[in-house]
Amino acid sequence: MIKTENMSEKEMYDFVLNKSKTYTKELYKKENLSDDLYSDNMKDIDIWTNKYENINGTKGLYKEHFNWIDSILEMRVIKLDRLQFELLDKTDKNFDLIPEKHKKNSILVNVHIREDGKLTPSACEASYKTAWNYYKSKGLSFEEIIFTCYSWLLNSDLKLLLPENSNIIQFQKKYKFLSFKENEEKSQIIERVFGLGNEKLENCSQNTILQKNLKKFWEKGYKFPMVKGYFIYKI
């Protein structure tokens, strides 16, 4: 693992940018993956460095985002169509929570959701299928994929904020509940929906149904913690 203790935020930005153009570019070539796929995956660098620039007025990368970007540069995480996927070892603690009948002849894959683009059911289904084909192409032997996800998007209380036919509600319907995190130090839903840390919401823009309803329910004491879920996929 890269040590970032002595790196400035600007140095971390320069490091990931250089690594993406050299080391990671070569990885994609060795895997015979397309330039389009490479370019799509590298957009995460722009997303997280732009967040830094919007706050600080200059290019940089927060230390808390470095390991995530590096997991993409090392191809531990890969975006395939709409969703991002991370192959997990079966020693991962998520695996202990899965019913025994699914533990044989399967692989465990964590699902991440990049914030850009619509999360339509058809786009997600296409992405799950692409992930299946991708892992098969790497020579892995399996009959099922156990897809896991740990996100605020799986919180069932979002039904208080969104209509039944919304993309987010349709996304979470596939997943069975495993666990949730209480007493989060930093709320992911506030960060992702409003682009904030733990700041107050009084002056936040409310341009969407989700933003308007989240602010209303948040002020009533609802917290919408991150939820861990899974579903079984097979073709």
From residue 220, alpha-carbon distances to 82, 152, 223 in Å are 33, 18, 9
Q: Provide the domain limits for residue 94.
A: 77-183+224-234
Between 2 and 113, residue with greater pLDDT: 113
163 domain residue, yes or no: yes
Q: 114: which residues sit within 8 A by CB, 6+ positions away? A: 43, 44, 47, 79, 83, 84
One domain for residues 56 and 114: no
Return the minimum-mean-pLDDT range out of 4-8, 103-107, 158-162, 163-167.
4-8
pLDDT in tens, 20-57: 999 999 999 999 999 999 999 999 999 999 989 988 99
pLDDT in tens, 51-88: 899 889 999 999 999 999 999 999 999 999 999 999 99
Domain end marker among 56, 75, 94: 75
Domain end marker among 43, 75, 107: 75
One domain for residues 71 and 84: no
Average pLDDT score over residue span 113-134 = 96
Backbone angles phi, psi at 203, to 5 degrees: -100, 15
Angle between helices 35-56 and 63-73 (to 10 degrees): 170
Collapse the DSSP code of 69 into the 3-class scheme (helix H, G, I; strand E, B; otherwise coil) and give the result.
helix
One domain for residues 50 and 34: yes
207 domain residue, yes or no: no
Minimal CA–CA distance to 94: which of 105, 103, 84? 103
One domain for residues 50 and 18: yes
pLDDT value, residue 45:
98
What ranges make up the beta strands (E) of 181-219? Answer: none
Q: For residue 21, what is the DSSP state?
A: I
Integer distance in angstroms from the first to the last C-alpha of the chain?
Answer: 36
Place of tokens 């989700």: 210
Answer yes or no: are the C-beta atoms of 81 and 134 closer than 8 Å.
no
Domain end marker among 57, 75, 93: 75
Question: pLDDT-derived band of residue 196, with 50, 70 and 90 as boundaries?
Answer: low
For 48, the enclosing helix (H) or strand (E) is: helix 35-56
How much is the pTM? 0.92
User: Mean pLDDT of all residues in the chain?
Assistant: 92
Between 129 and 209, residue with greater pLDDT: 129
Residue 157's domain is classified under what CATH number?
3.40.630.120
Beta pairing partners, 233: 145
One domain for residues 10 and 93: no
For the chain, how many structural domains are there in total?
2
Question: pLDDT-derived band of residue 200, with 50, 70 and 90 as boundaries?
Answer: low
One domain for residues 50 and 131: no
One domain for residues 85 and 127: yes
pLDDT value, residue 197:
58
188 domain residue, yes or no: no
pLDDT value, residue 201:
73
> How many Å apart are CA 142 and CA 222, to the nearest integer?
41
168 domain residue, yes or no: yes
Q: What is the dihedral of CA 29, 35, 40, 44, to 10 degrees?
A: 50
Say yes or no to pLDDT of 1 above 90.
Answer: no
One domain for residues 131 and 174: yes
Burial of residue 97 (CB within 10 Å: 0-12, 13-18, 19+) is: middle
One domain for residues 61 and 86: no
One domain for residues 165 and 86: yes
Say yes or no to pLDDT of 195 above 80.
Answer: no
Average pLDDT score over residue span 193-212 = 76
Minimal CA–CA distance to 87: which of 24, 136, 29, 153? 136
Between 115 and 134, residue with greater pLDDT: 134
One domain for residues 83 and 65: no
% of the chain at pLDDT higher than 70: 96
